[in-house]
């Protein structure tokens, strides 16, 4: 369709349909997602060179350290999705900051739910709640849903923070 249009028209239509900064961001997002996901091999067994190096320094079992690093690095799969499916840059700094803010809280909620540990151990109900809130904080949903999920997560965080301290050794599976 673009080839059939007059020579001076495609640039004009393209400029009207897609702002230049949005087109630049869209062209950069695919290689960045691929690069981001390629970095997962540093912490995913059986290769996990970074985890094995850390295990040698800490004198811990290498494969167990690799498995813990794999669990901790699951946010590596979420951030490329956020990067690819959100309208960043949204045209204003306020929109960009809002996306970053809710993604940051959502990633923390996801890590807490995945590890069953925020500031203290999470019981199975709070773990599922944390994962559900993470979904609503990260997914491209209306701002009101983001705000409601953030309020509930802050309440969950405060509740968990005020629980009696659990040692980290007993919290890890």
pLDDT tens track for 91-118: 677 877 888 899 899 999 998 998 888 8
- Cβ neighbours, 10 Å, residue 101: 13
- Cβ neighbours, 10 Å, residue 103: 21
Q: Where are the domains of the chain?
A: 1-85, 90-173
The predicted pLDDT at position 17 comes to 61
DSSP letter (8 states) at residue 43 = T
130-172: per-residue pLDDT in tens?
A: 999 999 998 888 889 999 999 999 999 999 998 877 655 554 4
Q: Residue 126 pLDDT more than 70?
A: yes
Say which residues have a Cβ less than 8 Å from residue 22's Cβ, sequence separation at least 6.
87, 89, 91
User: Closest Cα partner for 136 from 106, 94, 115?
Assistant: 106
Say which residues have a Cβ less than 8 Å from residue 40's Cβ, sequence separation at least 6.
73, 76, 77
């Amino acid at each position: 369709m673009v080839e059939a249009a007059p020579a001076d028209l495609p640039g004009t239509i393209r400029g009207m349909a897609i702002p230049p900064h949005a087109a630049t961001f869209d062209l950069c997002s695919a290689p960045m997602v691929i690069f981001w996901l390629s970095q997962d091999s540093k912490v995913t067994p059986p290769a996990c060179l970074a985890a094995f190096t850390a295990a040698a320094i800490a004198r811990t079992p290498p494969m167990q350290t690799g498995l813990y690093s794999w669990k901790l690095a699951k946010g590596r799969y979420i951030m490329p999705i956020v990067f690819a499916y959100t309208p960043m840059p949204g045209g204003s700094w306020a929109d960009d900051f809002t996306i970053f803010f809710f993604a940051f809280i959502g990633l923390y909620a996801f890590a807490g739910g995945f590890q069953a540990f925020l500031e203290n151990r999470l019981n199975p109900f709070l773990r599922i709640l944390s994962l559900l809130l993470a979904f609503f904080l990260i997914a491209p949903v209306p701002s009101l849903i983001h705000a409601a999920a953030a309020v509930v997560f802050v309440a969950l965080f405060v509740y968990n923070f005020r629980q009696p301290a659990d040692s980290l050794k007993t919290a890890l599976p």
